[in-house]
Chain A
Amino acid sequence: MSELLEAPAAPPDRVRPTRSWGAALGLLPFVGYLVVFLGGPLFFVISGALSTPEGQPTLDNLVASVTSPQYQAAFVSSLVLSAVTALVGAVFGAFLAQAVLTGRRDGPLQRIVSTASGVLAYFGGVPLAFAFIAALGQTGLATAFLRGVGVDLYGLGFRIDSLTGLGLTYVYFQVPLMVILITPALEGLLPQWREAAENLGASAWAYWRHVALPVLAPAFGGATLVLFGNAFAAYATALALTSGSIPLLPTAIASALSGNVLANQQNVGLALGFDMVVVIAVVMVGYLVLQRRAARWSAR
């Protein structure tokens, strides 16, 4: 930290697109912190997944984590839940972001949506679960209202602690995250492009179809992948909403770790964590590829 603050700065009036070691040193605290406190736990997950409780190397845990029917079911519902809520959240979030952006710049609507997005996207978890139980639980307010107008949700088989109910809750934090992620890309659509298209006789639809959407596609794809990862990683909402009645990967990991299923399950729990990391790594690689493409059109 101190090298960073006290390093004698070179004349700062020149942009030095530098890759020198001196400049890289300034990143050391930040990167070092991530390596220790994010990389550290991940290292122990991976090494634990690949060894027996006695510390001998083995692949048995990984094999068990992908062949056991119980864990396969958890895998499938986690993947489905994440994919569906990512797509729904991405599409609705993009529309919402654009609807807000076309309003008055820095008006109350923009401030309310951007601050609320921050709180809802990152706060997630517990309050959302409670709010949805209050709205759509057996005795919830919205449930009662819908029953009043002739739609009996629970008669139709809906339950708030089902995969559908969980998905409905997840969208509540997916949409705000999408608004945060996609707004810069939407702001990057230069008005000149629209004007040029209109001068060439393009309709609004033709502008979106041939100019805006192709430019936005990589950013949209990247943001959707982050949403997928976000839902895949999320656990607090499920924990508070269902107390573990839906088989999701995080639930399976938590119960394997707490050891109340079977002895020696800890390493299988770590193996499930390893599987999640693999899925996340694939998602991140896809995100990085799309991010490079998105950067092609950005002003930066």
Chain B
Amino acid sequence: MRGRRWRVVVLVLAAVYFLVPLLSAAEFSLRTPGGGYGVGNYLAIVTDEVLFTSLLTSLQIAVFTAVLVLVLVVPTAVWVRLRFPSVAGLLESATILPIVVPPVVMAAGIAFVQANLGGPVFRALFASSATALTPFYVVLALPFAYRAVDNGLAAIPLRTLVEAARNLGSSLASALLRVVLPAIRSAVLGAAFLTLALVLGEIVIARILLYTDTFPIAVVEVGRSAAGVSVALSLASLVFTWVLLLLVSFAGGRRSRKASS
């Protein structure tokens, strides 16, 4: 087949460009002070109490964020596909917004509120890193969550499923929860894991608002004294999320193939 050669060139270039930094980071993270190799840097996550606590904080934020994101995105995406297809394009454009709105600008606006507005609502909002960061991480997570869920919905006979459930007497809410949600579970899981990735990587808003007890901030901080630990833990969180997504992708694919054969 003609035109194969450019494909090989592109794939090899991509492999070199994308793998070399990751492999370098892996090699660096495995170095030990003595000059050999070992997994000491990775063990810091359990031996260093600050890092461990920060991981728990960030996981908590990730769970809150993922749940809020899904509660906002799944019903909206279903609604748009069933009842309001004319705004699909508009909504897709709106989900581009959080990609391009600078987190630093968002942080600047939030910091202004934090510094200048009082009252019980704001005091409750800014009480801890979980309450203060979660609402804004939801905004950052919306674009890809919407995209992932909408792709999932495109792949199932949504209208037929909802009609069938409705004809059998289910309410719209339970049709959504018990029919649609299981049908798009791999898309939902994908969205949730990308949200986890986001929370494990966000440092700009947390830093400017001075919530320094989150995992990514702790990882950067520890780098000042132990670069190897920083590299090890950031690499581990990247690879961990990627493996989760890959598992979801393969599990989802296998199931759908079985169903269709």
Residues of A near any B CB (own CB < 8 A): 1, 4-7, 9, 12-13, 15-19, 23-24, 26-27, 29-31, 33-34, 37-38, 40-45, 48, 92, 95-96, 99-100, 102, 106, 111-112, 114-116, 118-128, 130-136, 140-142, 171-172, 175, 177, 180, 204, 226, 229-230, 232-236, 239-240, 249-250, 253-254, 257-258, 266, 269-270, 273, 276-277, 280, 283-284, 287-288, 291-292, 295, 300
Nearest-Cβ distance from residue A116 to partner chain B, whole angstroms: 6
Most chain-B CB neighbours within 10 Å: which of A18, A131, A269?
Answer: A131
Most chain-B CB neighbours within 10 Å: which of A37, A42, A277, A283?
Answer: A37
Indicate if the CB atoms of A232 and B76 lie closer than 8 Å. no
* 9 closest Cβ pairs, A-B complex: A41-B109, A229-B100, A135-B24, A233-B102, A131-B21, A127-B234, A141-B24, A134-B28, A5-B173
Question: Does B185 make an interface contact (CB < 8 A)?
Answer: no
| Residues of the A chain whose Cβ atoms lie less than 8 Å from the Cβ of B82 | 12
With A123-B201, A126-B219, A134-B24 as contacts: A284 and B104 at CB distance below 8 Å: no
Indicate if the CB atoms of B105 and A273 lie closer than 8 Å. yes
| Residues of the B chain whose Cβ atoms lie less than 8 Å from the Cβ of A5 | 75, 172-173, 176
Pick from B21, B147, B219, B249: contact of A134, CB under 8 Å: B21
A96 to B13, CA, bound (A): 9
Indicate if the CB atoms of A15 and B85 lie closer than 8 Å. yes
Beyond A1-B75, A171-B17: 20 further Cβ-contacts under 8 Å?
Answer: A6-B171, A12-B166, A26-B84, A27-B87, A30-B76, A37-B139, A41-B105, A42-B106, A45-B108, A95-B6, A112-B246, A125-B201, A126-B216, A126-B220, A133-B231, A134-B24, A135-B24, A141-B23, A230-B99, A254-B104
| Residues of the B chain whose Cβ atoms lie less than 8 Å from the Cβ of A239 | 203-204, 207, 220
Question: 26 A-B Cβ contacts within 8 A?
Answer: A1-B71, A27-B87, A29-B75, A34-B97, A38-B139, A42-B106, A44-B113, A48-B109, A92-B10, A99-B14, A106-B253, A115-B242, A123-B200, A126-B201, A131-B231, A135-B21, A136-B21, A233-B105, A234-B102, A235-B204, A236-B201, A249-B102, A253-B105, A273-B104, A280-B102, A284-B93
Indicate if the CB atoms of B101 and A38 lie closer than 8 Å. yes
- One digit per residue, 1 when the CB lies within 8 angstroms of any chain A CB and 0 when it does not, for chain B 154-194 equals 00000100110010000111001000000000000010001
| Residues of the A chain whose Cβ atoms lie less than 8 Å from the Cβ of B18 | 116, 120, 172
| Residues of the B chain whose Cβ atoms lie less than 8 Å from the Cβ of A249 | 102
With A26-B83, A122-B198, A273-B102 as contacts: A99 and B11 at CB distance below 8 Å: yes
Pick from B17, B99, B113: contact of A233, CB under 8 Å: B99
Residues of B near any A CB (own CB < 8 A): 2-3, 6-7, 10-11, 13-14, 17-18, 20-25, 27-29, 71-73, 75-76, 79-80, 82-89, 91, 93-94, 96-113, 135-136, 138-139, 142, 144, 147-148, 159, 162-163, 166, 171-173, 176, 190, 194, 197-198, 200-204, 207-208, 216, 219-220, 223, 230-231, 234-235, 237-238, 241-242, 245-246, 249-250, 253
With A115-B246, A239-B203 as contacts: A13 and B101 at CB distance below 8 Å: no
Nearest-Cβ distance from residue A193 to partner chain B, whole angstroms: 16
Nearest-Cβ distance from residue B157 to partner chain A, whole angstroms: 13
Nearest-Cβ distance from residue A33 to partner chain B, whole angstroms: 6
**Taking CB as reference atom, which chain B residue is nearest A32?**
B72
A128 to B162, CA, bound (A): 43
Indicate if the CB atoms of B83 and A16 lie closer than 8 Å. yes
| Residues of the B chain whose Cβ atoms lie less than 8 Å from the Cβ of A13 | 159, 163
**Taking CB as reference atom, which chain B residue is nearest A43?**
B109
A142 to B23, CA, bound (A): 10
| Residues of the A chain whose Cβ atoms lie less than 8 Å from the Cβ of B23 | 141
Indicate if the CB atoms of A126 and B172 lie closer than 8 Å. no
With A106-B253, A233-B99, A236-B201 as contacts: A119 and B28 at CB distance below 8 Å: no
| Residues of the B chain whose Cβ atoms lie less than 8 Å from the Cβ of A16 | 83
A142 to B249, CA, bound (A): 32
| Residues of the B chain whose Cβ atoms lie less than 8 Å from the Cβ of A116 | 18, 242
**Taking CB as reference atom, which chain A residue is nearest B113?**
A44
Pick from A24, A111, A132: contact of B249, CB under 8 Å: A111
| Residues of the A chain whose Cβ atoms lie less than 8 Å from the Cβ of B203 | 125-126, 236, 239-240
Indicate if the CB atoms of A232 and B172 lie closer than 8 Å. no
| Residues of the A chain whose Cβ atoms lie less than 8 Å from the Cβ of B237 | 127
Indicate if the CB atoms of A277 and B105 lie closer than 8 Å. yes
With A130-B25, A135-B24 as contacts: A17 and B85 at CB distance below 8 Å: yes
